[in-house]
A and B are shown apart, each in its own frame.
Chain A
Amino acid sequence: LAKTTQPISMDSYEGQEVNITCSHNNIATNDYITWYQQFPSQGPRFIIQGYKTKVTNEVASLFIPADRKSSTLSLPRVSLSDTAVYYCLVGAGTALIFGKGTTLSVSS
């Protein structure tokens, strides 16, 4: 499974757009890129998944360049409630391997 590298922490203010980049240089052809969000004292929650180009849902957008060696999770106009840990995962199957994630702190 491809190893992922993402920033340990990020700070933002309410109303701003936040972009969290994940590096996965050894991604395999069959691998998908998946992002999860975790609030304190809760289990992770699925945000978005993509294979290439751009994927958008009601919560976020995922940008994947042509070489697929990195991906960027974009959260539009964050609020205080977006303060959480965000995990980038790469793999082809259902077995998820979580890293330490990126702790996003949103301030007013």
Chain B
Amino acid sequence: EAGVAQSPRYKIIEKRQSVAFWCNPISGHATLYWYQQILGQGPKLLIQFQNNGVVDDSQLPKDRFSAERLKGVDSTLKIQPAKLEDSAVYLCASSAPGPRLYEQYFGPGTRLTVT
């Protein structure tokens, strides 16, 4: 079974530029999550999708971050404009419906450096 795919793996941009991250969840996983992990800290949930609808985006900085999950499969997270404090690893995760919904499968992440 293929895992959660993310691209790119690394990205370096200057502040005020824009950037987009892509995620392809495990096939059949209806729930998709985006997390931000700053060095030395645990991941922080940014947004959660159920199919193509948003379940929770309470911690998403909506003035600069946006995310979409068209057709309920792939998802894109965008930052525009980026700030220095956005430097972090952006993790995508997915989970399957049913009794193991709590078990999330994470991708390798995209390491973003904002200079």
Interface residues of chain A, those whose CB is within 8 Å of chain B, are 32, 34, 41-46, 49, 87, 94-101
Main DSSP-derived SS at the A contact region: loop
**B92-115 interface bits toward A, Cβ cutoff 8 Å, 1 = contact, 0 = none:** 010100000111111111000000
- Whether the pair B56, A95 counts as a contact (CB closer than 8 A) is yes
Interchain CB contact under 8 A, B48 and A95: yes
Complex CA gap A94/B32 in Å reads: 10
* Residues of B near any A CB (own CB < 8 A): 4, 31, 33, 40-45, 48, 56, 91, 93, 95, 101-109
B-chain residues with CB within 8 Å of residue A87 when the two chains form the complex? 42
**Chain A proximity of B110: nearest CB distance (Å):** 11
User: B108 near A94 (CB under 8 angstroms)?
Assistant: no
Instruction: Return the chain B residue nearest A47 by Cβ.
Output: B103
Are A98 and B42 in contact, with the CB atoms below 8 A? yes
Q: How far is the CB of A92 from chain B (nearest CB, A)?
A: 9
- List, in ascending order, chain A residues with CB within 8 A of B40's CB: 100
| B102 x A49 contact (CB < 8 A) | yes
Smallest Cβ distance from B29 to chain A, in angstroms? 12
- Whether A96 and B106, one on each chain, are in contact in the complex, defined by CB atoms closer than 8 angstroms, is no
Please tell me if the beta carbons of B102 and A42 are within 8 angstroms of each other in the complex.
no
Query: Whole-angstrom distance between the alpha carbons of A49 and B31 in the complex?
Result: 19
